[in-house]
Amino acid sequence: MVSLVRICLSDTRIYSSTIRTLTAAVTIFRHYHFNKSQTPKIPDPFASFQSTGRNIVAVFWDLDNKPPRSVSPFDAAIRLKKAAESFGAVRYKIAYANQHSFDYVPPEIKEHRRDTRKLNQLENKGVVKPVEPYICRVCGRKFYSNEKLINHFKQIHEREHQKRVSQIESAKGSQRVKLVGKYSMKMEKYNNAARDILTPKVGYGLGDELKRAGYCVNVVLNKPQAADVALRNHMVDMMDRRQMECLILVSDDSDFVEVIKEARLRCLKTVVVGGSNDGALKRVSDAAFSWEEIIMGKAKKEAVSVVGRWKDRDILKRLEWTYNYERERKLYGLCSEDDDQNDDLNAASNLVSDEVKTDQSRAWWKLESDSDSAASS
């Protein structure tokens, strides 16, 4: 009986301690859940860095002078964008060229197309067999000849794509919006596959690749210096509107020297991407990189030191002190001996001018002569 009483007492003690623990947990939960304003906040050590604004960067690309050659246009555009992001927030990416630049095909691409054409002929004759079959990236069908894959893609998927485009263009209003949303995935899938399978009819897809990378591509007339004039006017217009703080120019043309000088006079940061030689633009700009450094990623690493120099220069400009004599004299009432002498001279000149004015105010016959003044004395 005594043991039973002891067991009951121990159970009640355990139960009461459990209730106390649960009650404390509930009160803590209520306090921190319903009183969120009273919860202690952990200070963010990176808040000061996140709050500071970054430079607004605008990239201007002269495609007539500096087209991408060592790598594909899309890869070159992406690497240029990543390098530009090291200088600030890239908000504008603009490229200019005439129609001839988009029609031009580099010799490397011509040679690659020639080799592909020869390989297709050998596959059709059965001389060469592919190690892995060619797979259609739209429907997934397999082909053991590249030419059969191209014919299949043109006969089926290209026609379907043209039907979708014509259907979207003929629709209006909400119906057009619904069709765009309905066919967006299919059209994107087709474009990704067509980029690798089909050969562009004109050029090598320079404009489309740059647009895919997020650049605004502008085509000008096939006139000499037409792209340079349009690009220069665009840069000056954006400087007038104060839409950028850092200007990145991809060109080697010395015609842009005056624009870079004007940008520096307006306190803009200037970066030039050109050839490996030391050109006129590189001597005028704040920083300069070669196209090889952009492709290899060296420019992105060196941009850290360039931005650091810019920050130091801005701090020194804020700390710069200039002496303004008139302002200091008005604020603090400073007066030197030279100032006293100047004030005395000014007072004497004022007295002489007043006497002359009073003498001139009387008539000529009333003026005192030297004899009258001597007699009166």
Q: What is the DSSP string of 97-128?
A: EEHHHHH---HHHHHHHHHHHHHHHHHHHTS-
If asked whether residues 85 and 125 sit together in one domain, one would say no
CA distance 252 to 11: 89
The answer to whether position 366 is within a domain reads no
Whole-number Å distance between alpha carbons of 195 and 209: 9
CB-based contact 281:256 (threshold 8 Å): yes
Residues 215, 295, 226, CA angle at the centre, nearest 5°?
Answer: 45
Q: What is the pLDDT of residues 235-270, one digit of tens each?
A: 999 999 999 999 999 998 888 999 999 999 998 999
Residue 107 has pLDDT above 90, yes or no: no
Q: pLDDT exceeding 90 applies to what percent of the chain?
A: 36
Say what the pLDDT of residue 262 is: 93
* 126 and 197, same domain (yes or no): yes
- 61: which strand partners? 95, 250
Does residue 48 form part of some domain?
no
Mean predicted confidence (pLDDT) in 217-245? 91
Examine the pLDDT at 66 and tell me if it is beyond 60. Answer: yes
* Residue 217 sits in the same domain as residue 98: yes
How many angstroms separate the CA atoms of 205 and 192, rounded? 13
Clarify whether residues 259 and 311 are in a common domain: yes
Same domain, 186 and 312: no
Q: Pull the structure tokens for residue 6.
A: 């002891």
Are 198 and 256 in a shared domain? no
**Residue 133: other Cβ atoms inside 10 A:** 12
- Residue 64 shares a structural domain with residue 180: no
Shared domain check, 215 and 95: yes
Is 158 within a domain?
A: yes
Are residue 86 and residue 215 in the same domain, yes or no?
yes
What's the pLDDT band for 68 if we cut at 50, 70, 90? Answer: confident
- Retrieve residue 39's tokens: 């919860």
348 inside domain: no
**Lookup result for tokens 């990145």:** 248
255: in domain: yes
pLDDT confidence bin for 48, thresholds 50/70/90: very low
pTM for this structure? 0.66
Cβ–Cβ < 8 Å for 290, 267: no
Looking at this protein, which amino acid is placed at residue 138?
Answer: V
330 in any annotated domain: no
264 and 141 in a single domain? The answer is: no
297-328 tens-digit pLDDT: 888 888 888 888 888 887 887 777 666 777 77
Give the model's pLDDT for residue 12: 47
Residue of higher predicted confidence among 63 and 355: 63
Q: Provide the pairing of β-strand 216-220 with 89-98.
A: parallel
Among 142, 172, 202, the domain-final residue is: 202
Q: Is residue 20 part of a domain?
A: no
- DSSP, res 153: I
Count the domains in the chain.
2
Other C-beta atoms lying within 10 Å of the C-beta of residue 306: 18
Which stretches of the chain are DSSP H helices? 2-34, 47-51, 73-85, 99-103, 107-125, 146-152, 159-170, 173-197, 206-212, 226-241, 257-265, 280-284, 291-296, 298-319, 325-332, 337-361, 370-376
Name the pLDDT band for 41 (thresholds 50, 70, 90). Answer: very low
Domain end marker among 317, 342, 358: 317
Residue 136, SS3?
Answer: coil
Which has the closest alpha carbon to 195: 157, 234, 245, 163? Answer: 157
The answer to whether the beta carbons of residues 96 and 223 sit under 8 Å apart is no
- Report the percentage of the chain scoring pLDDT > 70: 72
Query: How confident is residue 128, by pLDDT bands cut at 50, 70 and 90?
Result: confident
Enumerate residues 6+ apart whose C-beta is below 8 A from 45. none
Residue 13 in domain: no
Of 317, 342, 365, which residue sits at a domain end? 317
Residues 237, 310 share a domain: yes
Q: Write down the residue that tokens 């489309």 correspond to.
A: 208
Per the structure, the complete domain to which residue 171 belongs is given by 112-202
CATH of the domain at 234: 3.40.50.1010
Q: Are residues 71 and 215 in the same domain?
A: yes
